[in-house]
Structure 1
Amino acid sequence: MNLKSKFSLIIACVAYLLVFSQAYSQNADSIRLNQIGFYPGAPKKAIILDADHGIFYLENTAGKKVFTGTISRSVNKGFNGKYTGIANFTQFNATGTYKLVIPQKAESYTFTIANGALKSVADGAIKGFYYIRASIEIKEQYAGKWHRAAGHPDDKVIIHSSAVSKGRPEGTVISSPGGWYDAGDYNKYIVNSGISTATLLSLYEDFPAYMQTVKLNIPESSNKLPDVLDEALWNLRWMLTMQDPADGGVYHKLTNPAFDAMIMPDQATKPRYVVQKGTAATLDFAAVMAQASRIFAKFPQQLPGLADSCRMAATQAWDWAVKNPAVLYNQDKMNKTHEPKIVTGGYGDTKVDDEFVWAACELLVTTQNHIYVPYIKLVPVDAMTVPNWGDVRTMGYYTLLKHQDIVYTTAFNELPGLQTDFLKMADNLIANAGDNAYQTVMNKVAKNFGWGSSSVAANQGMALILAYKLTSDKKYLDNALANLDYLLGRNGTGYCYLTGFGHKPVMHPHHRPSVADGIEEPVPGLLSGGPNPGRQDKVPTPSSVPDEAFIDDENAYAVNEIAINWNAPMAYLANAIQALEGKQKK
């Protein structure tokens, strides 16, 4: 072979190696795993799409092989009809940064193993609420490049014709500033605020020592209140303005008549209204205020009088609901007789028995008044579900189970049966979760994948955290963590669903500031809705398989919108896991 031929061969070999190396690294998406990291003593799994046998190994940043394992095949096929490979490296617990390698096939995104593995995610999911505050400038010192002007001062809000009452005729102007923007839009809804605010309050109530250590760089961080409570207060104080002082009833929402265009908050200047009082909104309000009262009673110097104000607001709301037990918000019906017509998010609810249960449970624990006991109705195990905004019964059950010392002093005598049934529900959640293609509770059944499926995963995780706290049985904690792994990349799409995190993050959520601010990256710390084959927005997705029916498109609100009731359980789950698995280490 002459010199020219040898040189050509060398060039060809180098080119081949470059192409092979590029293809090799580009196969990272075929390895689905938590893209952030793992705790040393916790389970560690990756899902392999293109191999269900063979070996895998972990490689450190120096390129050294540090662990070798064998890929096993999933017991069951995924929703797409295919088996997956399971790479389990739980027994490897050395801290550091690694990637998982399938020889000659693929290598994963890098990840860490550390005590604080998910601290950034836990903090970020709460900090996401700061970016979506209404009525305040989001300053650069707290928000970096996502700083923006204040929008919606809401100091001149109009009483809608559906919301008139004694002393507040149609057209009356009230002040109702603050709160969080509910979702991708700029409106504020009591029903959804209820479960979201309560979830953040519960995060503090359940993990007070850890949450005292969490500093988020928000304007209130220098005060002597935990940052998570400061953030919850931003919405709670707005909620207090939504109660009619004449009778204790609570307006369903504060809204424009129609959704704003994809513009920044300060450019959205259309008139705003408070709309119709309703039983569901009033009871959700009562529940949150009762919970807030017992929490803020522990901070009398920082928040003088607030606990008493919340307790009074809760009891007044309860009294209104008892007198008005079936005032249901039906937007279409309302629009037939009232102007202007309202076509923003409905949050209508055709039943309020669950709201009565939740409010009664919170008020019972806060006041120890026996009058609430008759309203606490238990349901069979098969009717017990993880909470969502339209079914909040289990929120009340959680409160009873977490405050058993108080409940035993009241006339409620069904606590043992409630705990037994709750743990049966938890056992039903985790049963055979290790058999499915992604090894998670979330991936057990297709019905989990509807609008806001990400919140289903997070709420399942919350339920399992409580089961762990009640029993100290690690099977519940491990499955809660697996659902968090799901949200952070171990899923059918390979996306990390929390904006600003992961190697394959959501980049185009249906969220007005993220679309309109001219910044490439979306506002961080916001949880995308996740796979939903329902496609209510009519935007095509690459797959119709339940756990793959997702597209990262700002127009696809049925799969890629953000919402406070999705972020709140994500914040709870990530922080609870960090508190429990991270052993409160920073």
Structure 2
Amino acid sequence: MKILSTITLLFLLPLLIAAEKQTPEAYIRINQLGYLPSGVKAAVWGSPGNQTISDFHLVDFTNGKVVFTGPASKPFGSYGPFAQTYRLDFSAFLRPGVYYLKAGGVVSPVFRIGKDVYNGAADFCLRYLRQQRCGFNPYLKDSCHTADGYTLYGPMPDSTKIDAIGGWHDASDYLQYSTTSANTVYHLLAAYRDFPQVFSDHHDANGLSGQNSTADVLDEARWGLDWLLRMHPQPDWLFNQIADDRDHRGMRLPALDSFYGRGHERPVYFCSGQPQVQGVKYNKMNKSTGMASTAGKFASAFALGYAVLETKDPAYARKLRMKAGTSYALGLENPGVQQTASVLSPYIYAEDNWTDDMELAAAELFAITRDRSYLKEGMKYAAGETITPWLGADTANHYQWYPFINIGHYEMALNAPGNDKKLLTGYYREGIDRVWQKANKNAFYRGVPFIWCSNNLTAAFAIQCYWYENLSGKNDYAALAQANVDWLFGCNPWGTSMVYGLPEYGDAPADPHSAFTHLKNYPIDGGLVDGPVYGSIYKSLIGIRLADPDEYAPFQSDLVVYHDDYGDYSTNEPTMDGTASLIYLLALKENEGMKTK
């Protein structure tokens, strides 16, 4: 496997312990993975008191010499636990090496500048998806949920037996959702399509060690595609989820799942286009209005699967192409959203948008058919969601605007005629600028709202910034894009990475809300945790109780909290789809490094 850093363990450990110890007066937050030589390079200095600074120094760790001195930014004032904050921008310094920053009497952790700082990171995060596999699980070398499942809400009699085995568990629970799974498949396929050179082959199709002449990212995508095919078994049938929140009754390994009154068999919810249960004791039904939000995601994943696999497995690709057409047709016939169902609690994936899903499906169908009617339909759908509604907003419901950015705008713009491309690119710019108007007021350039799964939004938004740059040829939001990447790897108030095990020798989640770690101490390498939430959200959630003293207590605030604690399912639970989005982003960054001269 590719190595995440060219620095060996023996070299890294003294680097991490030799930097001067920080004092409580101030802290310097960095991207622990490091910085690309020609990219944006910035850190944030924050003080809980009234301390100020005017400049900073970049120090070569190998000899202790100052190699760059720069002015601190304007004072940004208070943010979270800090009373005063500054940005420290050293983008002008290009020389690879090992360094630390010094300002106001404190130093940062040691970090690298190099074109390979992201190398292997995308492949590393694939470990988490392999561990999330349902059916045969290569990490456990065991099978689970092999009795799935019995139908609910469908045109067939309730409890009809169907084969819905496979796919991935959604998070640290073992529910499975078609929408998040299709989005995961799409990101994996797109990552391979756009950056095939960054991925390696060290596992077979079942996820076990051993090469099979196929990049591991494609093996993982195909695992998801196989399951999506089972969830769309005939042209007028589409299923939306397996299991429900009865799953949350207890932590256990997946093979021990039996909470539904039928042994190990679990319910499979039909995509009916009608309201379904949302917490029995709350006497609620969800607000489903149609099928297009799910059908569009299926269609785009199938169509992109056809494009990527057409020459590698023509017979399988033809099946995907056919299923792309039938699922798109279901979306055309049933406009609206299919939200998820819950039984015990009111918490669901409350998706409210669907035209973005149909736009993406139309874009991918045009790409494989060259039928210009798809371009026309896609632009009609694009007008239905010009700006993803959370961009620039302070809050949103859980998964309300999913998949967090309008992927269809980018895919449509790749093939649209000049005026349409300009229009779509303008939509991206306006959405980014709405976030920028909030972000430029704080030193972290933070404009993403602290709602549940804020890290998923962060990764997705960074991708939109890079796609805008690709479409427009302009890099006017480069610092904002990089700030969102940096946030995920330690340039945040807590100074921690949000990815389990990445970097290996840094501050990263160690006690996630996961049965694998909590019960068996199994590492969940590569999993992106949910991320920080507003203090008000944290205080309102049901059943959260920290299991251990909070090591980040000095950095919590009324604004936002994050806990590396098994008991906090709101900030420290990894998710499959967020990790897939991160895989695309890390592949993009590794590719950027490869282009560095």
TM normalised by structure 2 equals 0.79
Deviation of 1:257 (Å): 6.5
| Cα deviation code 1:325-347 (max 9, x no counterpart) | 35744636xxxxxxxx5769733
Aligned pair 1:201/2:189, yes or no?
yes
1:525/1:431 CA distance change after superposition, 3 Å: same
* One-letter amino acid matched to 1:362: E
Of residues 394-403 and 66-75 in structure 1, the stretch that sits farther from structure 2 once superposed is 66-75
* One-letter amino acid matched to 2:302: M
C-alpha distance in structure 2 between counterparts of 1:497 and 1:118, whole Å: 15
Deviation of 1:63 (Å): 4.0
- Kindly indicate whether the alpha-carbon contact (under 8 Å) linking 2:337 and 2:351 is maintained by their aligned counterparts in 1: no
| Cα deviation code 1:441-480 (max 9, x no counterpart) | xx13xx6111111112111110011112123323344432
Mapping of residues 34-53 of structure 1, within 5 Å: 34-50=31-47, 51-53=51-53
* One-letter amino acid matched to 2:330: W
C-alpha distance in structure 1 between counterparts of 2:567 and 2:498, whole Å: 16
C-alpha distance in structure 2 between counterparts of 1:344 and 1:268, whole Å: 22
- Kindly indicate whether the alpha-carbon contact (under 8 Å) linking 1:74 and 1:435 is maintained by their aligned counterparts in 2: no
User: 257, 267, 276: which is aligned to 1:273?
Assistant: 267
1:78/1:567 CA distance change after superposition, 3 Å: farther
Equivalent residue of 2:330, what SS? helix
Unmatched tracts of structure 2, length 5 or more: 1-16, 259-263, 273-290
Deviation of 1:547 (Å): 6.2
Deviation of 1:62 (Å): 3.3
Of residues 413-422 and 467-476 in structure 1, the stretch that sits farther from structure 2 once superposed is 413-422
1:345/1:92 CA distance change after superposition, 3 Å: same
- Kindly indicate whether the alpha-carbon contact (under 8 Å) linking 1:95 and 1:112 is maintained by their aligned counterparts in 2: yes
Provide the residue aligned with 2:5 in structure 1. none
Provide the residue aligned with 2:595 in structure 1. 583
Mapping of residues 22-101 of structure 1, within 5 Å: 24-27=20-23, 30-50=27-47, 51-80=51-80, 82-101=83-102
Aligned pair 1:360/2:362, yes or no?
yes
C-alpha distance in structure 2 between counterparts of 1:505 and 1:377, whole Å: 39
- Kindly indicate whether the alpha-carbon contact (under 8 Å) linking 1:212 and 1:226 is maintained by their aligned counterparts in 2: no
Work out which of the two has the higher radius of gyration on C-alpha atoms and give 1 or 2: 1
C-alpha distance in structure 2 between counterparts of 1:295 and 1:227, whole Å: 14
Tell me the matched-pair count: 524
1:262/1:27 CA distance change after superposition, 3 Å: farther
1:294/1:351 CA distance change after superposition, 3 Å: same
Provide the residue aligned with 2:10 in structure 1. none
C-alpha distance in structure 1 between counterparts of 2:19 and 2:111, whole Å: 20
| Cα deviation code 1:116-165 (max 9, x no counterpart) | 01214333223322222222242xxxxxxxx42324243x3232232342
C-alpha distance in structure 2 between counterparts of 1:237 and 1:70, whole Å: 53
| Cα deviation code 1:282-313 (max 9, x no counterpart) | 2321221122222222xx2x323122111111
Mapping of residues 128-147 of structure 1, within 5 Å: 128-138=128-138, 147=139
C-alpha distance in structure 2 between counterparts of 1:327 and 1:44, whole Å: 41
User: 414, 429, 441: which is aligned to 1:423?
Assistant: 429
Of residues 303-312 and 59-68 in structure 1, the stretch that sits farther from structure 2 once superposed is 59-68
Aligned pair 1:459/2:450, yes or no?
no
1:366/1:526 CA distance change after superposition, 3 Å: same
| Cα deviation code 1:154-179 (max 9, x no counterpart) | 3x3232232342xxx43333322321
| Cα deviation code 1:362-397 (max 9, x no counterpart) | 323333335543452415755566696743571221
1:54/1:161 CA distance change after superposition, 3 Å: closer
- Kindly indicate whether the alpha-carbon contact (under 8 Å) linking 1:179 and 1:237 is maintained by their aligned counterparts in 2: yes
| Cα deviation code 1:6-31 (max 9, x no counterpart) | xxxxxxxxxxxxxxx99951549811
C-alpha distance in structure 2 between counterparts of 1:381 and 1:75, whole Å: 35
Provide the residue aligned with 2:238 in structure 1. 250
Aligned pair 1:394/2:406, yes or no?
yes
Equivalent residue of 2:21, what SS? helix
Deviation of 1:57 (Å): 3.0
Deviation of 1:354 (Å): 3.6
Equivalent residue of 2:517, what SS? helix
1:470/1:385 CA distance change after superposition, 3 Å: farther
Provide the residue aligned with 1:150 in structure 2. 142
| Cα deviation code 1:402-426 (max 9, x no counterpart) | 234xx68xxxx73432223323333
TM normalised by structure 1 equals 0.80
1:290/1:95 CA distance change after superposition, 3 Å: same
Provide the residue aligned with 1:311 in structure 2. 321
- Kindly indicate whether the alpha-carbon contact (under 8 Å) linking 1:157 and 1:176 is maintained by their aligned counterparts in 2: yes
| Cα deviation code 1:474-514 (max 9, x no counterpart) | 33444322211111000122111011024211111112212
Aligned pair 1:236/2:232, yes or no?
no
- Kindly indicate whether the alpha-carbon contact (under 8 Å) linking 1:56 and 1:101 is maintained by their aligned counterparts in 2: yes
1:347/1:256 CA distance change after superposition, 3 Å: closer
C-alpha distance in structure 2 between counterparts of 1:37 and 1:43, whole Å: 11
C-alpha distance in structure 2 between counterparts of 1:377 and 1:68, whole Å: 47
Provide the residue aligned with 2:443 in structure 1. 437
Provide the residue aligned with 2:383 in structure 1. 378
1:305/1:561 CA distance change after superposition, 3 Å: same
C-alpha distance in structure 2 between counterparts of 1:428 and 1:324, whole Å: 32
Identity of aligned residues (%): 22
* One-letter amino acid matched to 1:315: G
- Kindly indicate whether the alpha-carbon contact (under 8 Å) linking 2:453 and 2:531 is maintained by their aligned counterparts in 1: yes
1:250/1:216 CA distance change after superposition, 3 Å: same
Provide the residue aligned with 2:261 in structure 1. none
- Kindly indicate whether the alpha-carbon contact (under 8 Å) linking 2:57 and 2:68 is maintained by their aligned counterparts in 1: yes
C-alpha distance in structure 2 between counterparts of 1:390 and 1:92, whole Å: 39
C-alpha distance in structure 2 between counterparts of 1:66 and 1:377, whole Å: 51
Mapping of residues 538-577 of structure 1, within 5 Å: 538-539=544-545, 542=553, 545=557, 548-577=560-589
Of residues 93-102 and 394-403 in structure 1, the stretch that sits farther from structure 2 once superposed is 93-102
Deviation of 1:251 (Å): 0.5
* One-letter amino acid matched to 1:450: I
1:125/1:364 CA distance change after superposition, 3 Å: same
* One-letter amino acid matched to 2:31: N
- Kindly indicate whether the alpha-carbon contact (under 8 Å) linking 1:481 and 1:577 is maintained by their aligned counterparts in 2: no
Provide the residue aligned with 2:420 in structure 1. 414
Equivalent residue of 2:314, what SS? coil
* One-letter amino acid matched to 1:69: T
C-alpha distance in structure 1 between counterparts of 2:331 and 2:365, whole Å: 13
Of residues 393-402 and 373-382 in structure 1, the stretch that sits farther from structure 2 once superposed is 373-382
1:33/1:327 CA distance change after superposition, 3 Å: closer
* One-letter amino acid matched to 2:301: V
Of residues 193-202 and 54-63 in structure 1, the stretch that sits farther from structure 2 once superposed is 54-63
C-alpha distance in structure 1 between counterparts of 2:565 and 2:219, whole Å: 33
1:132/1:539 CA distance change after superposition, 3 Å: same
C-alpha distance in structure 2 between counterparts of 1:434 and 1:326, whole Å: 36
Identify, as 1 or 2, the structure richer in helix: 1
User: 343, 346, 349: which is aligned to 2:348?
Assistant: 346
* One-letter amino acid matched to 1:196: T
Unmatched tracts of structure 1, length 5 or more: 1-20, 139-146, 333-340
- Kindly indicate whether the alpha-carbon contact (under 8 Å) linking 1:193 and 1:235 is maintained by their aligned counterparts in 2: yes
Deviation of 1:583 (Å): 1.6
Mapping of residues 104-253 of structure 1, within 5 Å: 105-138=105-138, 147-154=139-146, 156-165=147-156, 169-205=157-193, 207=194, 210-215=195-200, 217-220=202-205, 222-245=211-234, 247-253=235-241
